[in-house]
Amino acid sequence: MRLNKIFSLTIFYLLITPFIVLILWSFTQTWPAGELLPSEFGFRGWRYILEPHSKVWHSLLVSLSLSGAVTLISLIISIPAGKAIAHYDFVGKSLVETLILAPIIVPPIAVGMGIHLSFIKYGLADSFLGVLLIHLTVTLPYSVRIFISVFKAAGTKWDEQGRTLKANWWARFRYITWYLIKPGLVTGSALVFNVSFSQYFLTFLIGGGKVITLPLILFPFINSGDRVIASSLSLIFILSSLFFMIIAEKCIEDNQRQSEFYYL
């Protein structure tokens, strides 16, 4: 028990320390090298975030809208795709599984440059839709693989029981499949959202500087070494991701409880 407690406290310390450092830097005015704590505190980072010309809140809204749409579309595609690959045999199944992994095996620069040329040709470059599609290219492999594993673990016996009881596809999905894939929904939503939310290079390449997301605001400050503003923006970035994950899990649980109510 004592070793478990020490291990848990060590893990907690390792996880919480970076956040404490970010919070301190976000309220720092002067932090001399070699000092344990800042010598002077200030609000320069938070003032920048609140200034209208910084466009932080606009970029955050774009990021949330973009990543939310990518997450929803990824789930809509991944759930049936994962079930089909996990439960059915068809010609070219192994090739399909390989192609699904291709966007994360091939370097993103190569994928992005190739797709960018096609997007220019079809008028999708420098647009919100183009950025959404390139994010789907990156996130779909992760979400499909998650649901393949979820459906393989769930098996087919419960769905077959529903068929035996003459339940249609929607009833089987609502009262059986939804419960079985809930862990995959929460995990897949969080992973897809964070992968999309943190994209910098592909967003910059396809968006052409016209689709401004939070990482496009954040990375220049990281590269320039402005730790005060970078820390403040990083906290906004982290809190936004946490907020989405909490909301996503709550929506899934509320829908599940609603289904239980109707079922009873």
* pLDDT score of 62: 93
pLDDT of residue 29: 81
Average pLDDT value for residue range 57-62: 91
Average pLDDT, the chain: 83
The stretches of the chain forming alpha helices (DSSP H) are: 2-26, 44-50, 56-87, 93-105, 108-122, 128-154, 157-164, 169-172, 178-180, 182-197, 201-207, 214-224, 227-263
pLDDT band at residue 1, thresholds of 50, 70 and 90?
Answer: low
Q: What is the pLDDT of residues 86-104, one digit of tens each?
A: 888 888 788 887 777 777 7
- Decide yes or no: CATH 3.30.1460.30 for domain 54-263: no
Local structure of 88: helix, strand or coil: coil
Residue 127 has pLDDT above 80, yes or no: yes
Among all chains, which residue has been given the structure tokens 């649901």? 147
Q: What is the mean pLDDT of residues 133-144?
A: 91
**Any idea where the domains of the chain sit in the sequence?**
1-42, 54-263
pLDDT tens, residue by residue, 209-254? 889 999 999 888 888 878 888 888 889 888 888 888 788 777 666 6
* CA dist list (Å): 21 to 17, 24, 36, 241: 6, 5, 11, 19
